[in-house]
Structure 1
Amino acid sequence: MRILMLGNSLTAANDMPAMLADCIGAKVYHHTRGGARLSEQLNPNTRLGARTQEALVQENWDYVVLQEMSHGPVTAPEKFFSSVRELCGQIRTRGAVPILYATWAYQRGSAKLAAKGWDYDVMADALSAAYHKAAVENHALVADVGQWFYRLSGIQDLYADDGVHPTPSGSRLAAETIAEVIRRQMEGQNDKANL
């Protein structure tokens, strides 16, 4: 199994792609740049976009995981939905399955959340809703890591000191959530094949 992850530092932190590879027994590659948006992955005039576009056209993937910049689905929803639509089209044309990696709200009480003037619950709900809407519209799978952060952040140490990036435990939770989505999808395919 070959998986390509498109995202930014929320994907690359703590070498999460290697954690996913361990969880699912796959070869996992990632095209990331700190602060990157999905629209950059579509732009062949950027180094990241050129690399991604070449990989989507010339290589075979089983799954391609899409992760938008941390607040992009909330602050630039049209750009987010448009980028997801275009990328999902490219991914499906090549026979791969798109997965949206729904990230989390900034940590409750963090300086970053306060600087934006946002409410933690509102940001968490808005991110989850945007990713789920994009998944439904594009027949994509969704790994709602953000909802796990929402449920578990008071119990587990999931946020790094900046209140945005994940700790190793947070990255492990993300990898396990994505792996579980892939396992469920594969089991569904196997069930259909056995009918």
Structure 2
Amino acid sequence: MRILMLGNSLTFANHMPQTLALLTGAEVVQHTRGGARLSEHLNPKTKLGARTQAALRDDHWDFVILQEMSHGPVTSSKSFFSSAERLCRQIRENGAIPILYATWAYEKGSVKLTEKGWDYEEMAGKMSAAYSKAADENQALIADVGQRFYELSGTQNLYAADGVHPNEAGSRIAAEIIAAVINQYKEKQP
């Protein structure tokens, strides 16, 4: 099994792709850059975009995981939905299954959350709604890591010191949820 992960630092933090490889037994390749948006993966004029476009055109994948920049689904929703649609189409043309890696709201009380002028529940709700809508519109699977962060927010610290990135426990939960989505999908196949 081969998995391609398209994302940014929320994907590669704490060696999460390697953890996913251990959990699934798959070869996991990551095309990531800190701060990258999904739209960059569509742009062959960028280094990251050229790599991704070549990989989707020339290589075989079983699953391709899409992760948008941390607040992109809320602040740049038009670009997020358009990029998700175009990438999901390319992923299906490749013969792979698209999975949206739904990320989380910034940590309660964090500087980044305050800077955006949001409260935690508002950002969590908007992130979840955007990823769910993109998954529904594109018949993609969803690994709703953000929802799990929300459920555990009162009992477990899943954030790095910046209140944006996951700590090791957060990255482990992300890998476990993505692996579970893949395994559930595979179990349903004839």
Normalising by structure 2, what TM-score? 0.99
Aligned position for 2:154 = 154
Structure 1 stretches of 4+ with a deviation exceeding 2 A read: none
**Cα distance in 1 between the residues matched to 2:58 and 2:93:** 12
Aligned position for 2:44 = 44
Offset at 1:181?
A: 0.4
1:88-120 Cα shifts (integer Å, max 9, x gaps):
000000110000000000000001101111111
Structure 2 residue runs of 5 or longer lacking an equivalent are none
| 1:128 partner SS | helix
| 1:95 partner SS | coil
Matched to 1:18, the amino acid is: Q
Aligned position for 1:111 = 111
Aligned position for 2:179 = 179
Structure 1 residue runs of 5 or longer lacking an equivalent are none
1:29-88 Cα shifts (integer Å, max 9, x gaps):
100000000000000000000000001100000000000000000001110000000000
Matched to 2:103, the amino acid is: T
CA RMSD of aligned residues (A): 0.6
Is 1:99 aligned to 2:67, yes or no? no
Offset at 1:3?
A: 0.1
Normalising by structure 1, what TM-score? 0.96
Aligned position for 1:81 = 81
Is 1:59 aligned to 2:29, yes or no? no
**Cα distance in 2 between the residues matched to 1:145 and 1:105:** 10
Tell me the percent identity. Answer: 67
Aligned position for 2:26 = 26
1:108-142 Cα shifts (integer Å, max 9, x gaps):
00011011111110100100110010001000000
**Cα distance in 2 between the residues matched to 1:153 and 1:74:** 20
| 2:160 partner SS | coil
Matched to 1:158, the amino acid is: L
Matched to 1:103, the amino acid is: T
Aligned position for 1:2 = 2
| 2:147 partner SS | helix
